[in-house]
A and B are shown apart, each in its own frame.
Chain A
Amino acid sequence: DARVTQTPRDKVTEMGQEVTMRCQPILGHNTVFWYRQTMMQGLELLAYFRNRAPLDDSGMPKDRFSAEMPDATLATLKIQPSEPRDSAVYFCASGLSRNTEAFFGQGTRLTVV
């Protein structure tokens, strides 16, 4: 049963600490998205990749957020330093190609205290 895997599922950290979230897309999918979900802002697109190349990361605060795909089986989203306003659920999703559905992971619930 192919699925997108995200780790960790939950993360509580102190303000100022570095946070790294990981995502394993479905094997063979060449598009990867990172979304942030909050009650106030809904589902915000942070960044997306196609064939491991970043196509658009304009949704990310550049000073503290970074997204990479070291290889086709791993996408990372890093926050350094973290702030309480970063508390949210972060979703990774992958897609097989253009104009196809996105498959979401279970999400990482981040709490910054």
Chain B
Amino acid sequence: GQQVMQIPQYQHVQEGEDFTTYCNSSTTLSNIQWYKQRPGGHPVFLIQLVKSGEVKKQKRLTFQFGEAKKNSSLHITATQTTDVGTYFCAAVTGGGNKLTFGTGTQLKVEL
């Protein structure tokens, strides 16, 4: 079945350092979505990537979709304590109906 792996599993950074999480799928994806879950909270949608090679930016966050539509990355520039949480990619398959989450990357930011 669909498998979506993320690396790293955990990342500790000092405030101001950059952070990147990578998402890899075993199959070609229709789209990919990214979510953030704060400690004790629920996943919240960040963005959706649709096109091969697509790059989107949200302030300090940069999202990329691979050319083969099997991998994606999220890069945060100059992390802040508000960036703490777990970042998930989610593979959109099944004709756009099925949403399978990756294993997640837990980010901790230290002052």
* Contact in complex: B92, A104 (CB < 8 Å): no
* Chain-B contact segment, one of A13-21, A61-69, A95-103: A95-103
Question: CB within 8 Å of B: which of A54-89?
Answer: 55-56, 58
Per a CB cutoff under 8 Å, which of B42, B95, B100, B103 touches A45? B100
Question: CB within 8 Å of B: which of A19-34?
Answer: 31, 33
- B44 CB-CB contact with A under 8 Å: yes
A45 with B99, Cβ < 8 A, contacts A99-B30, A99-B31, A104-B43 known: yes
* Contact in complex: B42, A107 (CB < 8 Å): yes
* Contact in complex: B92, A99 (CB < 8 Å): yes
Question: Chain B, 63-97, contact with A by CB distance < 8 Å: what is the 0/1 string?
Answer: 00000000000000000000000001010101111
- B101 CB-CB contact with A under 8 Å: yes
Shortest Cβ-Cβ A-B pairs, 8 listed? A98-B96, A101-B45, A99-B96, A43-B101, A104-B42, A104-B43, A42-B103, A50-B97
Given contacts A56-B98, A101-B33, A101-B48, 14 further A-B contacts (CB under 8 A): A42-B102, A42-B103, A45-B101, A55-B98, A93-B43, A95-B99, A97-B96, A98-B97, A99-B50, A101-B45, A102-B43, A102-B90, A102-B99, A106-B42
Q: A-contacting residues of B (Cβ < 8 Å)? A: 1, 30-31, 33, 42-45, 48, 50, 88, 90, 92, 94-104
